[in-house]
Each structure stands twice: as structure tokens, then as C-alpha cells.
A and B are shown apart, each in its own frame.
Chain A
Amino acid sequence: MGENKPDILQGTLDLMVLKTLEAMGPLHGYGIARRIEQVSGETIMLNQGTIYPALLRLEQRGWIKAEWGKSETNRRARFYTLTRTGKSRIAEETRNWERVAATMALFLASE
């Protein structure tokens, strides 16, 4: 992977994408990648390209859908939107992630 950027967990990236779309509404791939970088600041650096397989994965599950449209700079781009299933999945995915995070925290604390 990238030289100095740590890889991120698959589930993490999926959830980040879902949260981003929930907060920002329809957005293209670049927008999503930039938003994730901005929100996470310098703590998580991602290869922007890796969001595309993640986007496809979510699309295949029917959680998001994509459409070609015009960007703010009047460019043709593919915009991603949350579907109804996607919206309802966010809560559950969040709970899942919190459980994992809590477990990890317990492990780290036990040391």
C-alpha cells in the first residue's frame, strides 16, 4: 500500500463513507475522499483510490446508489447517495463499530 499511510480497516472505511453521505448528502468519489481526510485530520491518511472498491461494495449491497451528474465546477461526475436501506443500516453499523472499539479499548486497557 502507500508508503507512509497506514491501511485502514475495511469496515471502518465503509462506515466513514456512509456517515459522510449522511452528513453531506449526494457526493462524488473525490468529495467523499476529501471529506474523510478532512474530518479525520492527520490521524488517518488514506489512499484515495481505496474508496472506490468500498463504494462498489456498498452499492452491491444496495446501501448506496450512484448516478452521473454535474459537479459544483460543472464537471460530469458520479454522485453517490444513501438509499433507504443504507440509512437504516448506519445505526447498526455504528453499534457494531462501537462494540469493536470498546473491545479493543478493553484489551488495550488491560495491559
Chain B
Amino acid sequence: MDLVRSLLSRMVAMFQRRRLDASLDEELRVHIDLAIEEQMRRGVPEAEARRLALREFGGVTQVRETYREQRGLPLIEQIRRDIRYGIFQLWKSPGFALTAILTLALGVGANTTVFSMINGLLLRPLPVPESDRLAVVGMQFGAPNPNYSFPEPLFRAFERRHGAFSTTFAFNHTTFQVKSGASTENIQGQYVSGGFFDALRTVPMLGRTLNAQDDRKGGDSAGFAAVISETLWENRYHRDPAILGQRIVIDNVAFTIVGVMPRSFFGADPLQRPQFFVPLADEEVLAGERSLVKFGHRAWWLNVMGRLAPGATLEQASKEVGAAEGAVLREAVQDADWIKRTEQERHIRFFAEPGSTGFTYIRLNFRKPLMAVFAMCGGILLLACMNLASLLMARGTARQKELATRMALGATRRRLIQQLMIEGLLLGVTGTIAGLALAPAVSHLLVAVLLSGHQQAHLDTSLDWRVFAFASATAVLATLLFALVPAIKATSRNLMERMKDGQNATRTIDRSGILPRVLMGAEVGVALLLVVGAGLIATSLVRLYHDGMGFDPRGLENIEFSMENSGLKGDALMSFYREMGQRLSHAPGVTSVSYELMTPLIGYQWDEDYNDTRGAVHDTFMNSVAPAYFSTMRIPLLAGRDFTWDDTPSVGKKLILNQTAAGQLFPDGPALGRTIRHEERKKLEVYEVVGIVGDAKYADIHSVAPPTGYVPMPQNDFVQSASFVAVVRTNGSTGSLMGTARAITAQMAPQVPVPEVTSMEKIIDDAMGPERMMTLLAVFFAVCALVVTAIGLYGTLAYATARRTTEIGIRMALGAKRSQVVAMVFGQNLWVVMGGTVVGLAAALLVTRALASFLFSTSAHDPWVIAASICALGLAACAASLLPALRAARIEPMAAIRCE
């Protein structure tokens, strides 16, 4: 109680220092006056009375000091004085302060930026009540990477179970066509199961959420129900208070709006901002022929999450779903053969993992690259700290006189270290603030790159407490790293001795210069590591671009037609496409046109099992294409012929194989002209191989071109789809293509929505999103590393040279040539850089192996990259040494010696 009270009054006192000082002075003056008066009343003369009074009192200054110490918080007052002194010190050397702050801003800014992305993508919890009770359900399914897509029947089997989960729910993000007046508009929405809103527990702004009643075939008795977002309510309905009960026509089906969700709610995928939610059961009605629910266990498309039942733990839930896999499969899937194969060959296993941050696919792709970039950022920060440490050390040496004077005046070593640390902290805080100010702009830029392949996605990288906590922790840690050692070093040894030394002309090797040089060497090593890493990543990207997709992406455009609701089928559909192709080929800039069912590299795949001539089964990737496809894509036709429009169902099934597929399916000789058998829907079909083409990449840009078979567009009865993608080869001037495509569709099929045009180069860029981001960041950080290192090398060398002015003067007076002086100064950095390079090289050989998984046809020890990195570093070092060397060469011997 007493303690709290006095602490409080001490704190209050700190803010009223001036007033309290005046009050104390007056009190003491009164005291002494009263004492004098009393002495004089006894008859002592005034001068003697004053002397006696002061003697009685003791030391006035001392009392005042003790009183002040008692009054305030001495440590804080001292720190305040130190801060003021520190600011003054930094103000006196603006060049040093600016360098330090910039270096640090770069280090902290880079880290905060990347951290705020990691925060937005990986750490920030969903803004729903008790998000920590949510879990994501996934499975191991053949491949080494976990799979998070579920077929609808499998999810329904989960939904019916109750145990460790109180609710399980599924969702899928889709683009829907929403009628608005005469035109249709593409709007982002989500299919959600009945338990979705129950599990996410967010209260709607208006009306109600969707429930299990809505999520039944045919909807509720009142018809199909939909919940819309506040954004849609605002943009489309102008916040109409009578919105509930109104109709919204989605994919030609009328839905009744039953509720409006607040803007803060976006469901369970943190990167999506769906405009409305419709029940999962309505997918069959909305998607019609393409319905994924109808495809049953063959369509893998739903993300499944659950809310843990009260008292249940995640481990329990994971164990439970893990143990239920057999039962779940049997309950969900009727096809016994499929279950048997799945259980035997793919070793399916379900699991539950923490779901407080929701689920998004982008996370799976970007987690690793982001972490790699984060490590790189750590390297930059380390570099910045080393740089500052060596700068501060050099500065400490230059400030010896000042420090020695203060020590002579009675300052303890602790006080001096405290003072130097506070100066460091000042730099740290300023640098951090500068870095934080930069971070949002940079992270916006990065997010744009990161999400370039996902136009609808939305990543919130705003600064929150986690980012601030991270930045502060980084700043404190950085300060400790860069300020403590120099502070201890600067105050070590006998300062008085050193003060007497001054600029010592006789001591050529300054022992105190070794540590900064070791530090700079280490810095060079770290910088080399970063540069080599960046070089490898960049080389890999360039090779990925150039090493051939198997087709020529330059000038290639894809036009996607949504023909599902056109009602066209069979021959009518084919002649429609043929006519459309003809019109498109007359468009300006277009040189050839064809069609494909699967656009390469956007991630979709369609595969079928074929038996080779020896009976072994081969998984073959498939596509359905129109005539002139290979010439349009510039995939070489190696043997045989291309498809023609006459390859109709009536002339017998035709097939074109790529080289790899041909070799795999016909291991005993040339494939051309031979036939292959394939079972489709319990019916045996015989295919004649009419052509062999070159290998081209299929769904995944990172893997080699898979065995691929092509069937002619009119003969495709595998995939029920009326929507094909036009592939258009242009001579580069594609500006009008969008308009042409729009005009042609408006003329030929006014009922279908506006086609979407995407360039192949854009698809490739998107497919390489993580690599592009990594490369961009890696190169950026490598340049930063070079700059920071160059600044460091320059700074330390400039200090060291300045301190050797006299020595250099004497050397010159004794006959050293200016070129020799330049060489000598240059040599100093040379040794540092060479030492650092050796260390960095050794480290690089060890560490870059961790990068191997990111690299495409590039060795982690690529000699060219390493050589180029060393050259770049060498150049930076030379640039950094130039100015100090020239300055040394300009020293006038006589002037320098006279100074001594």
C-alpha cells in the first residue's frame, strides 16, 4: 500500500519537476533564513549567523540531490537525460544516423512486410466467435501432400456423424451468373452446407442464416433460400430495408433472400469475399449437367471443417475421423470396387487439424515460399545489425576521448554502456518507425504479386497487434544485437590510457580494428549467401520460362465460352464452334484458331487409364481438341496427321498421343496406325492412333510433360461439357480481341454470358505465382543485401582511414606513392571481402541445399550463379572502397604530420 502510494507520487512528481524544484528551493531558503534570524536574536552578527546556519544545515546541494532522488524515479530521469544526450549526439553526426536508420528501416521494414503477409495468410484467426474451436478435416490420399477436397457423399457421411465435432460443414467458392435486368453478371458466391452458419456463429444483420432445412433437395417448403452479404445488399439493393423475401436469380434459378450477413463475415476461407451463400443441396439444380454433387464420389471439390463439441479436443477429433475412414467410405460410396482400390492403393486416412484461421488453398502453395522469404528477411535484418554494430564500433573508437572524459568525471562503466545502448535504442526505434511506415505500401505491392493469379482473392495485410508486437520484438532484439557488443567494447580497456594515446602514429595495426573487420567479414558472408540464394531462384525461374512448355505461349490467347445454358448439343454445337472459329480467324491480328476442353497449366486435369500392349495400366492425361490445335499451339506434329472436322463419332474413335504416351502405351514399336482399347462406361472402345505430337506441359508447370492423349472435339464423350475454350494464335496485337469475341458471341449466341479472354502468358505467370513472388523478393533482398554491405564496408573503411591520417601522412612523407596508399586502403577491404567470401561460400554450399525443392532444372551449386554472385559482391566492395581510398590518397603529408 505504502509502496504503491510512494511510487504513484514519484511518478506524479516526474511531471511537475520544475514546480517542485522551485518549491523545495524556497523551503530551504526559508529554513536557512529562520536559522539566521534565530542566531541573530542571540546577538550573533549577520555574517557569522549565516555561516553557522549553513554549517548546521549541512550541504545544501547534497540535500537537494538526495531530495530529488527520493522524489522521482532516478533511473527514468537518468534515461531521459541519456535520451536527450543521445539525440544530440546523433544530431551531430547526421550522416551516421541516417545510414544507420536507413539500414535498420530496410531490415525491420522487410521483416515486418513479410511478417504481415504471413500474419494475413497463416496466422490471423477468422473473425467468428471462438474460432479456436474450429478444425479443418483433410486426408492423406495416395500423394505425399495432404488433400483437402472432399466429394459430396463423403462430406454427407461426416455430417451425419456426431462425436468430437458438434457440427461439420462444407463449402465451395464458385463464380455464379446472376441476372440483373437484361444482362448477366459474374458474381462470387459460395455453396455452404446446412451446418455452415451454425458452426461459424455469426449473427446476421437482417433476417436469418441458412440451416439444415434449407440444405435439402428442393430447398425449404418456401423454395430456394439464399443469404447475401452486406456488400451485395449495398451495391445491388442500395440497403433496401425490405430486402428479405426478395428474389435473386442465380444461374437461372430464383432464390429467396432470407438474410444479410455483416461485412466483417466472409465465411471460412480468409481469402474470399463471397457476395452470397446458397445451400449445397441446390448445386444439382444450379449446375445442371455439370453438377458435381451428381458426380458423387468422383468429384473432389468441397472443403470440410468442423466445430469441436464442448469439452472435445482436436486430438480426439483427429483420432475419431481417422478411425472412421472405412465406415465413412462404405457409407458414402456404393461402388465396392472403387472402395477396395482406394483402400488398397491410395491408403486413404482422414485427419483433423487446427482451423482457427479457416481454410484456403493459396496457403498450401505459398506457405513454403513465404517461409523461405521470411528466412531471407531474417538474413537481411542480421546483416543490418552487423552493419550497425561495426559502424557503432568504429564510432565508439572515434568517440574514445569523449567517453574517457566522462569516465574521468566519475561516470561508471555501467552508465556509459547504458548511454551507448540508449543511443542504439534511439536508432532502433527510429529505424523501426521508418520501417513500419514503409511496410503497408510494400505489402500491398507484394499482395498484388502474390494474388495475381486469383483475381477474386483478398488478403488482409493490415497491421494488427501481432505485427506491432513482431516489429517491436524485432527492434529490441536488433538493438541488443547491434548495440551491446560495441558498447561493451567501447568502454573496455583503460580509457585513460587510450586517451593518452590519441591518434597514435607509431601503432600501425590497431588491435581494436580486428573485431569490426571480423564482423564485416561475417556480413560479407551472409550477403553472399543471400545473393547466391537469390541468383539460384532467379535462374530457376528463367529456366522454367525458357525450358519449354512444349508449346509457344507468346501471343496465345484463350477465350472461354460458357455454353452450358445455350441448349446446343452434338452436331449443332460443333457447327456453332466451327462457325465461331471461322469468324474469330478473320479478326485483325489473329493467325489461327482452334479449341480445347482443358486449358493447359490452370490446374484442372482429366485422366484415364489405358492398357498398354502388354496389359499394364497407364494413367494418361487427356484433352479434347479441335482441328489445327497443334499448329495453333505450335506443338510439333511428329508423325501421322492432325484431326479434321470430319473426325465425327461415325468414322470410329481417333486418338493422337504425345511422345511420352506413345512410348508408354506401345513399348514394343511405333504407335502410329495401331489401335488401343479403353473401357468407357462398361463399354469397350477401340481407338486408332492417327498422330504423334511433341510433349507439352499439362496441369502442373513444375512437373515434366506427362503422357497425354488427345481426342477430337466432335468425338468427346468422356466429359459432359458444352463449354470449350478457343485457343487463338495472334501476331501480338490483341487489343481488339476481347471486343471481337464479345461482338461475335452477342451476334451468334446472345443468351450466353460474355466470354472471358486470358492470355497464355498470364496463365503461366499465375501458375508460377509463388515462384515469381519468391524471385521478386529474393532479387530485391539480394540487392538490399549488396547495398547494406557496401554501406557497411564503406563506413568502417572510412572511419579506419580517417583514424590513420597521420600514419598515411608519414608513409607518404617517407616516399610512399599515392597509388601505393590507394592499394593499401583498398587492400584492407580486399582481405575482409576475401575472408567473408570463403566463409559465405562454405555456408552457401551447405544452406542452399534447402532451396533445392524450389529449384527447377538448376543445381543448388550452380557454378555460374556462384561465380556471378561473387563478382557482384566484389563490385559492391570495390565501389565501397573507392571513396575512402581516394580520400586517403589526397592526404597532404605535411598537414597530416603537423596535426599530430
Q: Which residues of B in the span 28-56 have a Cβ within 8 Å of any Cβ on A?
A: 28, 30-31, 33-35, 37-38, 56
A52 touches B24 (CB 8 A): yes
CB within 8 A of B58: which of A2, A28, A29, A76?
A2
Chain A residues lying within 8 Å of B2, measured Cβ to Cβ, are 61-62
Complex Cα distance, B60 from A48, in Å, reads: 10
Chain B residues with CB below 8 A from A53, complex form:
63, 66-67, 70
Q: Which of B6, B34, B71 contacts A71 (CB 8 A)?
A: B34
Among B33, B37, B63, find the residue whose CB has the most chain A CB atoms closer than 10 A.
B63
**B578 at interface, CB cutoff 8 A:** no
Asked if residues A78 and B70 are in contact (CB atoms below 8 Å), the reply is: no
Whether B57 lies near A49 (C-beta < 8 A) is: yes
The answer on a CB contact under 8 Å between B63 and A30 is no
Given contacts A2-B58, A47-B57, A49-B58, contact A78 B30 (CB under 8 A): yes
Cβ of A88 within 8 Å of any chain B Cβ, yes or no, is no
- The yes or no answer to B27 lying at the interface (CB within 8 A) is yes
Quick check: B62 and A61 within 8 Å, CB to CB? Answer: no
Q: How many Å lie between the Cα of A85 and that of B760 in the bound state?
A: 85
Say how far B522's CB is from chain A's closest CB, in angstroms.
51
A39-62: CB near B (< 8 Å → 1, else 0) gives 000000001111011001101111
> Given A60-B5, A62-B5, does the pair A49, B30 have CB atoms closer than 8 Å?
no
Complex CA distance for A31 and B71, rounded to whole angstroms: 22
Whether the pair A47, B58 counts as a contact (CB closer than 8 A) is yes
Partner of A52, one of B28, B38, B56: B28
Q: How far is the CA of A33 from the CA of B5 in the complex (A)?
A: 26
Q: Within 8 Å of chain B (Cβ to Cβ): is A77?
A: yes
Complex Cα spacing A68 to B58, Å: 24
Q: Is B815 among interface residues, defined by CB-CB distance under 8 A?
A: no
Chain B residues with Cβ below 8 Å from A48 are 31, 35, 56-58
CA distance A83 to B128 in the complex (A): 54
- Which residues on the B side are within 8 Å of A2 (C-beta)? 58
Question: How far apart are the CA atoms of A75 and B27 in the complex, in Å?
Answer: 11
Given A30-B35, A48-B56, A49-B58, the answer on whether A60 and B30 have CB atoms closer than 8 Å is no
Give the shortest distance, in Å, between B358 (CB) and chain A (any CB). Answer: 54
Q: List 24 A-B contacts (CB under 8 A).
A: A28-B31, A29-B31, A30-B31, A30-B34, A47-B57, A47-B58, A48-B58, A49-B58, A49-B60, A49-B63, A50-B58, A50-B63, A52-B24, A52-B28, A52-B63, A52-B67, A53-B70, A57-B70, A59-B9, A60-B5, A76-B26, A76-B30, A78-B27, A78-B30
Assembly CA distance A75 to B2 (angstroms): 33
A47, A56, A77: most-surrounded residue (chain B CB, <10 A)? A56
Contact B70 A73 (CB under 8 A): no
Q: With A1-B58, A29-B27, A49-B62 as known contacts, state yes or no: A60 contacts B9, CB within 8 Å.
A: yes
Chain A, range 70-95, C-beta contacts under 8 Å to B? 71, 73, 75-78
Most buried by B among A33, A47, A49: A49
Is B57 a contact partner of A61 (Cβ separation < 8 A)?
no
14 further A-B pairs in the complex, CB-CB below 8 A; given A30-B30, A31-B34: A1-B58, A29-B30, A30-B31, A30-B34, A30-B35, A47-B57, A47-B59, A53-B63, A60-B5, A60-B6, A60-B9, A76-B26, A77-B34, A78-B30
Q: With A30-B35, A77-B34 as given contacts, are A52 and B27 in contact (CB-CB < 8 Å)?
A: yes
Residue of A1, A57, A61, A75 touching B30 (CB-CB under 8 A): A75
Task: Answer whether residue B10 sits at the interface, using C-beta atoms and an 8 A cutoff.
Answer: yes
A residues in contact (CB < 8 Å) with B: 1-2, 28-31, 33-34, 47-50, 52-53, 56-57, 59-62, 71, 73, 75-78
Closest Cβ of chain A to B414, distance in Å, is 24
Complex CA distance for A52 and B67, rounded to whole angstroms: 7
Chain A binding surface, main DSSP class? helix
Interface residue from B23, B33, B59 paired with A49 (Cβ < 8 Å): B59
Query: How far apart are A108's CB and chain B's nearest CB, in angstroms?
Result: 29
Task: Tell me the bound Cα distance from A25 to B641 in angstroms.
Answer: 119
A76 to B56, CA, bound (A): 21
Tell me the chain B residues, 739-776 only, with Cβ under 8 Å from chain A: none
Nearest-CB distance from B6 to chain A (Å)?
4
Contacts of A75 in B (CB 8 A): 30, 33-34
> Which residues from chain B contact A73 at a C-beta distance below 8 Å?
34, 37
Query: Are B71 and A56 in contact, with the CB atoms below 8 A?
Result: yes
Docked pose: A50 CA to B70 CA in angstroms: 12
Shortest Cβ distance from B10 into A: residue: A60
* Bound Cα distance A61, B70 (Å): 12
A residues near B57, Cβ cutoff 8 Å:
47-49
Is there contact, CB below 8 Å, between A28 and B30? yes
Q: How far is the CA of A57 from the CA of B38 in the complex (A)?
A: 27
Q: Write the B127-139 contact mask toward A (1 if CB under 8 angstroms, else 0).
A: 0000000000000
Q: Is the CB of A77 within 8 A of B58?
A: no
A71 to B34, CA, bound (A): 10
CA distance A84 to B59 in the complex (A): 33
Q: Closest chain B residue to A45 by CB distance?
A: B56
Sort A-B residue pairs by CB-CB distance and give the 7 closest, nearest first. A47-B58, A49-B63, A60-B6, A30-B34, A49-B58, A30-B31, A60-B9
CA distance A70 to B195 in the complex (A): 80
Query: Shortest Cβ distance from B113 into chain A, in angstroms?
Result: 48
**Across-interface contacts of B30 in A (CB, < 8 A):** 28-30, 71, 75-78
Query: With a CB–CB cut-off of 8 A, which chain A residues contact B5?
Result: 60-62
Encode B639-655 as 1/0 by CB contact (under 8 A) with A. Answer: 00000000000000000
The smallest C-beta distance from B875 to any residue of chain A, in angstroms, reads 65
Bound together, the chains give a CA A75 to CA B10 distance in angstroms of 29
Interface positions of B from 2 to 29, Cβ below 8 Å from A: 2, 5-6, 9-10, 23-24, 26-28
Chain A contacts for B28, CB-based, 8 A: 49, 52
* CB nearest neighbor in B for A76: B30
Q: What distance in Å separates the Cβ of B170 from its nearest Cβ neighbour in chain A?
A: 65
Q: Give bound CA distance, A8 to B353, whole Å.
A: 69
> With a CB–CB cut-off of 8 A, which chain B residues contact A49?
28, 57-60, 62-63
Q: How far, in Å, is A32 (CB) from chain B's closest CB? A: 10
In the bound complex, what is the Cα–Cα distance between A50 and B30 (angstroms)? Answer: 15
Contact indicator B6/A61 (Cβ below 8 Å): yes
Give the nearest-CB partner of A60 in chain B.
B6
Query: Which B residues touch A30, using CB under 8 A?
Result: 30-31, 34-35
* Chain B 564-593 interface mask (CB, 8 Å, partner A; 1/0): 000000000000000000000000000000
Docked pose: A21 CA to B574 CA in angstroms: 111
* Shortest CB distance A71–B (Å): 7
- Of chain A, the residue at the smallest CB distance from B2 is A61
Q: How far is A73 from B67 in the complex, measured between Cα atoms in Å?
A: 27
Report the minimum CB–CB distance from A25 to chain B (whole Å).
17
Complex contacts, B66 vs chain A, CB 8 Å: 50, 53
Give B688 Cβ to nearest chain A Cβ, in Å. 102
Chain A residues with CB below 8 A from B56, complex form: 47-48
Min distance, Cβ A20 to any Cβ of chain B, angstroms: 15
Chain A hits for B59, CB < 8 A: 47, 49
Q: Which residues in A have their C-beta under 8 angstroms from that of B31?
A: 28-30, 33, 48
Question: Chain B nearest CB: distance from A75 CB in Å?
Answer: 6
Shortest distance from the beta carbon of A27 to any chain B beta carbon, whole Å: 12
Q: Whole-angstrom distance between the alpha carbons of A96 and B748 in the complex?
A: 105
Output the nearest chain A residue to B63 by Cβ-Cβ distance: A49
B31 → chain A closest CB, angstroms: 5
Please give the distance in Å from A59's CB to the nearest CB on chain B.
8
Min CB gap B70→A, angstroms: 5
In the assembled complex, how far is the CB of residue A62 from the closest CB belonging to chain B, in whole angstroms? 5
Contact B70 A56 (CB under 8 A): yes
Q: Least Cβ distance of A33 to chain B in Å? A: 8
In the complex, what residue of chain A is closest to B61 when comparing beta carbons?
A49
A60 to B56, CA, bound (A): 26
In the bound complex, residues from chain B placing their C-beta under 8 Å from that of A62 are: 2, 5
Give Cα A43–Cα B28 distance, bound, in whole angstroms.
25
Residues of A with C-beta under 8 A to B37:
73
Instruction: List the A side residues contacting B23 at CB < 8 Å.
Output: 78
Chain B hits for A33, CB < 8 A:
31
CA distance A31 to B67 in the complex (A): 19
Whole-angstrom distance between the alpha carbons of A108 and B381 in the complex?
65
Residues of A within 8 A of B35 (CB): 30, 48
